[in-house]
A and B are shown apart, each in its own frame.
Chain A
Amino acid sequence: DTAVSQTPKYLVTQMGNDKSIKCEQNLGHDTMYWYKQDSKKFLKIMFSYNNKELIINETVPNRFSPKSPDKAHLNLHINSLELGDSAVYFCASSRRGSGNTIYFGEGSWLTVV
């Protein structure tokens, strides 16, 4: 029944590794997002996809690559993990356009050691 689900919830990994976080939504939305909450608790958008097309790409290192196989899925792959990548990553979805509520997943806690 979970509307926006993401896995894994917790991930501890070593510097230099490559990891992926998966996200799926069953709300029938056409737009999906990745947000990052850093150590200062700010929530900032990283990427947004609409119908598998990238529409927002904030200033994010190239090591981060989102992939949307279909409009219900948006995965985040991170190459060559660095200590500063430690954060909580939230997947979210909505219908496209201002005025539509964005619904969030429960978050993925990534710790790079």
Chain B
Amino acid sequence: DQQVKQNSPSLSVQEGRISILNCDYTNSMFDYFLWYKKYPAEGPTFLISISSIKDKNEDGRFTVFLNKSAKHLSLHIVPSQPGDSAVYFCAASGEDTGKLIFGQGTTLQVKP
């Protein structure tokens, strides 16, 4: 049973446009959500996070939105750049152990 889902395996956008990556979760006990970016042959790199007490968090070109009632979060990248091309993982946590549950990832391609 997959508690965190990223239903789009891939996304292609033009440079300068907005990229929107989506993530759905099922466990209402999750209280912390993160996005990681991963290049081939490297480890996941932390990008941005949001606590369940917020509905939006912004860091430069990256904004994460959380809709708790829909159990949905999204990552917006504006403007998209070719260097943003990578696999993006959504993750959720809700235990004191800090254990993260990951989605299966979305491959973003930003075309010049």
A43 touches B32 (CB 8 A): no
B102 touches A55 (CB 8 A): no
Ordered by A's residue number, 20 sampled pairs between the chains whose C-beta atoms are within 8 Å are A4-B43, A41-B104, A43-B89, A44-B102, A45-B100, A55-B97, A90-B44, A92-B43, A96-B96, A96-B97, A96-B98, A98-B94, A98-B95, A98-B97, A101-B34, A101-B46, A101-B49, A104-B44, A107-B41, A107-B42
B96 touches A45 (CB 8 A): no
The reply on B63 being an interface residue by CB < 8 A is no
The reply on B14 being an interface residue by CB < 8 A is no
Partner of B45 from the list A31, A97, A104 (CB cut-off 8 Å) is A104
Given contacts A98-B96, A100-B98, contact A106 B43 (CB under 8 A): yes
The total of chain A residues at the interface (CB under 8 A) is 29
Report the minimal beta-carbon distance from A34 to chain B, rounded to whole angstroms: 12
- Chain A stretch 90-113: residues in CB contact (< 8 A) with chain B: 90, 92, 94-107, 109
B32 touches A41 (CB 8 A): no
Interface size class of B (residues with CB under 8 A): 20 to 34
- Cα(A111)–Cα(B49), bound, Å: 33
A48 touches B46 (CB 8 A): no
The chain A residues found within 8 Å of chain B, CB to CB, are 4, 31, 40-45, 48, 50, 55-56, 90, 92, 94-107, 109
Report the minimal beta-carbon distance from A107 to chain B, rounded to whole angstroms: 5
Given contacts A43-B89, A44-B102, A55-B97, contact A99 B32 (CB under 8 A): yes
The residues of A that contact B85 with a CB separation of less than 8 Å are none
The residues of A that contact B44 with a CB separation of less than 8 Å are 43, 90, 104
- Cα(A85)–Cα(B34), bound, Å: 28
The residues of A that contact B45 with a CB separation of less than 8 Å are 104
Partner of B43 from the list A40, A42, A107 (CB cut-off 8 Å) is A107
B97 touches A105 (CB 8 A): no
A42 touches B102 (CB 8 A): yes
Given contacts A42-B102, A45-B100, A100-B98, contact A90 B43 (CB under 8 A): yes
